């Protein structure tokens, strides 16, 4: 079975310090068209998920530049250069390479200050 | 700006069918650039993809739910729907509808979510 594994599952960071979240897939996420469909979402407490990053490293509209994505094939990273109070929440990676027919989310990483 | 809004019963009895509708406003559903999806999140848990449907009713479902899931779409009403049969307590979750952007495979717009509790 295909698996997306995030680490750590929980992260405590001091305001203004950097944070890094890893997402690993059990298979390469490079699609036949050359794209890698690895996305990141932020879910603040009590809110719907918000898209942050698509295709590994492209920030969605309105996302602050302190958020960055990197990686390739099976190993990916979401970095926050300087954590702010509004960054508290759970972060999910999601792969769309195997869609159709399926989409898989990572289990989530909880970020606290 | 696109808006999605889930609606449906907040309480469903075990073994019955969960039915939810997502109403889309501020944009067209009749475009080949998007699919429309359902994602759920159990209390305190992570996100689970349920399935996607496009404007011509082509569907893809999570294999773990395929035997119980049916999605439909009514573009004239700007709505798409989810039915999940034979529910149990394990199906208690917040259910989100969202738009899947095909060129990025990103769920780029989400509804606010609706909590469905399975209990007698």
Q: Quick one: pLDDT at residue A104?
A: 96
- Digit-coded pLDDT (tens) for B65-108: 989 999 999 999 999 999 999 999 999 999 999 999 999 999 99
User: Of B35, B44, B47, which to mutate for an interface test with A (greatest number of A Cβ within 10 Å)?
Assistant: B47
Distances in Å between the alpha carbon of A24 and those of A55, A71, A93? Answer: 15, 10, 9
Which backbone phi and psi does A58 adopt, to 5 degrees?
A: -95, 120
CB of B55 less than 8 A from some CB of A: no
**CB-based contact A109:A21 (threshold 8 Å):** yes
Tens-place pLDDT, residues B39-60: 999 999 999 999 999 999 999 9
Residue of A nearest to B110 (CA): A48
**Which pLDDT belongs to residue B1?**
80
Tell me B90's DSSP state.
G
Confidence at A29, pLDDT banded by 50, 70, 90: very high
pLDDT digits (tens, 9 = 90+) for A57-92: 999 999 999 999 999 999 999 999 999 999 999 999
pLDDT above 80 (res A1) = no
- In angstroms and rounded to an integer, the radius of gyration of the C-alpha atoms of chain B is 14
Please work out, in degrees rounded to the nearest 5, the angle formed at the alpha carbon of residue B44 by the alpha carbons of A81 and A54: 40
Contact at CB, B60 and A106, closer than 8 angstroms: no
């Amino acid at each position: 079975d295909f698996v997306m594994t995030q680490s750590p599952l929980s992260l405590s960071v001091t305001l203004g310090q950097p944070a890094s979240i890893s997402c690993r897939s059990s298979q390469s996420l490079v699609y036949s068209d050359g794209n890698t469909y690895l996305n990141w979402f932020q879910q603040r407490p009590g809110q719907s998920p918000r898209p942050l990053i698509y295709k590994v490293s492209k920030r969605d509209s309105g996302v602050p530049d302190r958020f960055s994505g990197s990686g390739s094939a099976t190993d990916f990273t979401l970095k926050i250069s300087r954590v702010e109070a509004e960054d508290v929440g759970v972060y999910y990676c999601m792969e769309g390479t195997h869609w159709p027919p399926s989409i898989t989310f990572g289990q989530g990483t909880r970020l606290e200050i | 700006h696109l808006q999605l809004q889930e609606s449906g019963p907040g309480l469903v009895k075990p073994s019955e069918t969960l039915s939810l509708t997502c109403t889309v406003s501020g944009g067209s559903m009749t475009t080949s650039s998007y699919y429309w999806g359902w994602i759920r999140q159990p209390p305190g848990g992570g996100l689970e993809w349920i399935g996607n449907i496009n404007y011509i009713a082509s569907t893809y479902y999570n294999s773990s739910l395929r035997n119980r899931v049916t999605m439909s779409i009514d573009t004239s009403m700007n709505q798409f729907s989810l039915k999940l049969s034979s529910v149990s307590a394990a199906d208690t979750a917040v259910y989100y509808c969202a738009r899947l952007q095909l060129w990025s495979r990103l769920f780029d717009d989400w509804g606010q979510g609706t909590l469905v509790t399975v209990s007698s």
